[in-house]
Amino acid sequence: MPAQANYPLPSGFQLEQYRIERQLSLGGFSIVYLAYDQDGTPVAIKEYLPNSLALRKEGQISPQITEEHQSAFRYGMKCFFEEGRSLAKLMHPNVVRVLNFFRANNTVYMVMQFERGRTLNDYVHRHRQRGEISERFLRGVFTRMLNGLREVHAHKLLHLDIKPSNVYLRADGTPVLLDFGAARQTLLNDQPVLKPMYTPGFASPEQLAGRDGLGPWSDIYSVGASIFSCIAGMPPQRADERAKKDELVPAVKQFAGKYNRQLLQTIDWCLNMDPLERPQSVYALQKALANPSGEEPVAGTWFTDWSTRLRTFIGRQ
C-alpha cells in the first residue's frame, strides 16, 4: 500500500466529458487531477474523497464507505457540492475559476480552470535559497491576492485554508487563490466524526477551537501567518499551542532591521490571538500593506490620500 490512503483514478479514465491525465495533489479531504475536456483544454478536477471516511483500493473506481460513516460522507458530499455551486458564482482574476461540478462514482467532482505557474510556497522556497524575499514582492503579491479574498468575503464565503501552497502564481506573477476549505469547516461543526482539515500554523485560534466566531478576521490571521512564513521559511507557532503558552516572538523583534517596521507590525496585527484585535476586513489589511511609510497599522490612523494610493496600488493587475 502506498503512503496515501486512497488510490487515485487511473490515467486515461473517462470521467464524464473529461479524460484523467494524472494526479496533481492529494489532501486528507480530496484528490486533485489534471484532466482534459473534449476540446483538449486542460482542467483541474477536485474529487471529494475524505480519507477518514472513504477507502478506494487499487483497481476500484467508486470509494467504499462503511455503514457508520455513510451519514457523514453524504453530508460532506452535499457541502462539497454546495461549495462548488457557490464558487462557480465567483468570477475574479485572483480566485480560481470553477467551471463545472457534478456527481459520479458515488462522490462529487469540482472542475476548475487549470492554471500554469507555481505555488507561492515553491517560489519562496526557491528564492529563499538565494537570499531573503523582497518586501516589494510580498506587498505586491498579498495585496493583489487580497483582491480575490475580498470578492470571496463579499459573497458571504470564507476560505479557511489560506497558506503559501494555496496561493498560485501565474507565469506573469498574478496570484490566484486555490483550494477553499469552507466545506471542511461546515463538516467540523456538524459531524464530529470528521477529523479537522486545517493546516497547523496557518489556522486561526477560533478555527482550531471549532467554536463560533469565524469571520473575515479568521482568514486574515492566515494571511498574516502566510506572510510570516514567506519571511521565516516556516509558519508561526500553531494557534492552539499559543493559547496554552504563547512563545511566538513578534515579527517586529524577530525580523527587526530586515524589513520595514510597518510591514512587521502589520504581520503581528494579523496574528493577534484575539479576533477583535486583528484587521476586521480585508480592505483594512490592504490599506496597511499599501502603506510602507511607517504609519501604525491601527484603524482610524489613515490619512485621506491613502484611499487614492490604495486604489492605484490594488489596480495593478
Residue 26 confidence (pLDDT): 83
Is residue 253 classed exposed, middle or buried when 0-12, 13-18 and 19+ CB atoms within 10 A define those classes?
A: exposed
Answer whether residue 96 shows pLDDT above 60: yes
The pTM of the whole model exceeds 0.85: no
With a cut of 50, say whether residue 316 has pLDDT above it: no
Residue 211 pLDDT grade (very low, low, confident, very high; cuts 50, 70, 90)? low
How many Å is the Cα radius of gyration of the chain? Answer: 20
What whole-number percentage of the chain has pLDDT above 70?
85
Residues 6 or more apart whose Cβ sits within 8 Å of residue 303? 295
Q: Report the chain's mean pLDDT, rounded to a whole number.
A: 85
pLDDT at residue 113 above 80?
A: yes
Distance, CA of 273 to CA of 167 (rounded, Å): 23
For residue 36, the surrounding DSSP H or E stretch is strand 30-36
Q: Looking at residue 37, what DSSP letter applies?
A: -
316 Cα distance to chain centroid: 22
* Out of 27-31, 47-51, 146-150, 238-242, least confident range: 27-31
Predicted local distance difference test score (pLDDT) of residue 1: 35
- Across the range 7-24, mean pLDDT stands at 96
Terminal C-alpha separation, the chain: 45
For the beta carbon of residue 276, count every other beta carbon within 10 angstroms. 8
148 vs 266: CA distance, rounded Å: 19
Q: What does the pLDDT read at residue 197?
A: 61
Pick from 168, 146, 151, 240: nearest CA to 198: 240
CATH of 14-113, picked from 3.30.200.20, 3.40.50.970, 3.40.50.300, 3.40.640.10, is 3.30.200.20
Least confidently predicted of 74-88, 93-107, 208-222, 292-306: 292-306
Domain boundaries along the sequence of the chain: 14-113, 118-314
The whole-number pLDDT of residue 94 equals: 95
Res 187: pLDDT:
42
Region 283-303: what's the mean pLDDT? 66
Task: Output the pLDDT for position 274.
Answer: 97
SS3 70: helix
pLDDT at 235 over 90: yes
For domain 118-314, say whether CATH 2.40.30.20 is its number: no
| More confident position, 1 or 316 | 316
Q: How confident is the model over 57-66, as pLDDT tens digits? A: 998 999 999 8
